[in-house]
Amino acid sequence: MAQIISGKEVALEIQQRLREEVAQLTVTPKLAIVQVGNREDSNVYIRMKRKFASDVGVLTDHILLPRTSNESEVIATVTSLNNDTSVHGIIVQLPFECDNKISTDKITNLVSPDKDVDGLSDLNAGKLLHGQIDGKSCFLPCTPNGCIELIKKSGIEIARTRSVVIGRSKIVGSPMAQLLLWHNSTVTIIHSHTKNPAALVREADIVVAAAGSPELVRGNWLKPGAVVIDCGITALPDPNKKSGQRLVGDVAFAECKDIAKAITPVPGGVGPMTVAMLISNTVDAAKRHLKNTSG
């Protein structure tokens, strides 16, 4: 039976550390969340972020723009936040729910690199690509960085391992592979055009599943003793549940938990860590702001 790596427990440890750090600061860190439209799934995520922030003493400002907003209005909002010295971190809640065409890339790259606490801008992504992961020169993307913390909790030494990342998205898969690479793992990326993915996964000491494909990774895909991190979350119909559905990840948990050395659950694994790393980045942004203004 695998060790179950609880993202909730690790996030609580980070929360306690951040609470102590914020209490020592001479400025209150502040995160601005820009949302276009009113998607309920986005609202759920925003509530989680605001609660975690509040619990550690970080302020949040939720800017809710109507779905009728155009690109110029969103640009004006982000530009104003860039110029607001009381705001230390800015995130743009994706996806947009809008009646007009708004370029996601244009808006995320408009966020000042010093406030890009999601780590999604091309500049921060480029620094990660070049191995600048010391936390001083760029912000690491939250989900991949949270995954690294969970992998460390398994007790495995990442250096000299073989890793497989399933998925190549800009938000999770690609930066996850880069982080593992700069932690000295040998990394293979699996995507929709990869031949015989099961054979590649079977060679891996560390498996990070971020494909958005429910229960894709089966027990017989795994090398015995592998560490498995599941970034997926999908609601499947289930008449036996009161809600009528159950949440599953990209990993067939019931099969894989008997093969893996350590594995994250869904829910309660990667999700809480994404929020924790976002607020951690916001606190770091406030520290950098203090250093820059005091020097």
Query: Using one digit for the tens of pLDDT, what is the confidence trace for 248-263?
Result: 999 999 999 999 999 9
Rounded Cα gap, residues 87 and 84, in angstroms: 6
Residues 67 and 151 in one domain: no
Listed in sequence order, the residues at least 6 apart from 253 whose beta carbon sits closer than 8 Å to its beta carbon are 230, 263, 265, 266
pLDDT of the residue at 295:
59
- Considering the domain boundaries, does residue 63 fall inside one? yes
For residue 27, what are its two tokens? 């400025």
CB count within 10 Å of CB 114 equals 15
Residues 175 and 234 in one domain: yes
For residue 243, pLDDT beyond 90: no
Residues 196 and 244 in one domain: yes
Rounded Cα gap, residues 67 and 208, in angstroms: 35
Bridging pattern class, strands 234-237 and 245-248: antiparallel
> Which CATH number belongs to the domain containing residue 192 in this structure?
3.40.50.720
Residues 63 and 174 in one domain: no
User: If you average pLDDT over residues 55-77, what whole number do you get?
Assistant: 98
- Considering the domain boundaries, does residue 1 fall inside one? no
Rounded Cα gap, residues 145 and 77, in angstroms: 28
The more confidently predicted of residues 245 and 93 is 93
Give SS3 for 199: helix
- Considering the domain boundaries, does residue 187 fall inside one? yes
pLDDT of the residue at 16:
98
- Considering the domain boundaries, does residue 120 fall inside one? no
Residues 43 and 161 in one domain: no
pLDDT of the residue at 136:
75
For residue 242, pLDDT beyond 90: no
**Active-site choice (8, 30, 49, 153):** 49
Query: Using one digit for the tens of pLDDT, what is the confidence trace for 161-170?
Result: 999 999 999 9
pLDDT band, residue 1 (cuts 50/70/90):
confident
- Whether residue 291 contacts residue 27, with contact meaning beta carbons closer than 8 Å, is answered with no
- Considering the domain boundaries, does residue 294 fall inside one? no
Domain that holds residue 147: 142-270
pLDDT of the residue at 137:
80
Q: What is the DSSP letter of 244?
A: S
Q: What is the DSSP letter of 92?
A: E
- Considering the domain boundaries, does residue 210 fall inside one? yes
Residues 175 and 243 in one domain: yes
Residues 98 and 38 in one domain: yes
Residue 49 among the catalytic residues: yes
Residues 103 and 155 in one domain: no
Closest CA to 206 of 193, 187, 231: 187
> Which CATH number belongs to the domain containing residue 41 in this structure?
3.40.50.10860
- Considering the domain boundaries, does residue 61 fall inside one? yes
For residue 85, pLDDT beyond 80: yes
Residues 206 and 146 in one domain: yes
Residues 190 and 94 in one domain: no
Average pLDDT value for the chain = 96
Query: Using one digit for the tens of pLDDT, what is the confidence trace for 101-147?
Result: 999 999 999 999 999 999 999 999 999 999 998 867 889 999 999 99
pLDDT of the residue at 204:
98
Residues 108 and 151 in one domain: no
Residues 246 and 173 in one domain: yes
pLDDT of the residue at 158:
98
The total domain count for the chain is 2
Backbone angles phi, psi at 278, to 5 degrees: -60, -45
pLDDT of the residue at 77:
98
Closest CA to 71 of 55, 92, 50: 92
Q: What is the DSSP letter of 152?
A: H
Rounded Cα gap, residues 279 and 50, in angstroms: 9
Residue 265: HSE in the Cβ half-sphere, 13 Å Cα cutoff: 11
- Considering the domain boundaries, does residue 42 fall inside one? yes
Query: Using one digit for the tens of pLDDT, what is the confidence trace for 174-230?
Result: 999 999 999 999 999 999 999 999 999 999 999 999 999 999 999 999 999 999 999
Rounded Cα gap, residues 67 and 212, in angstroms: 26
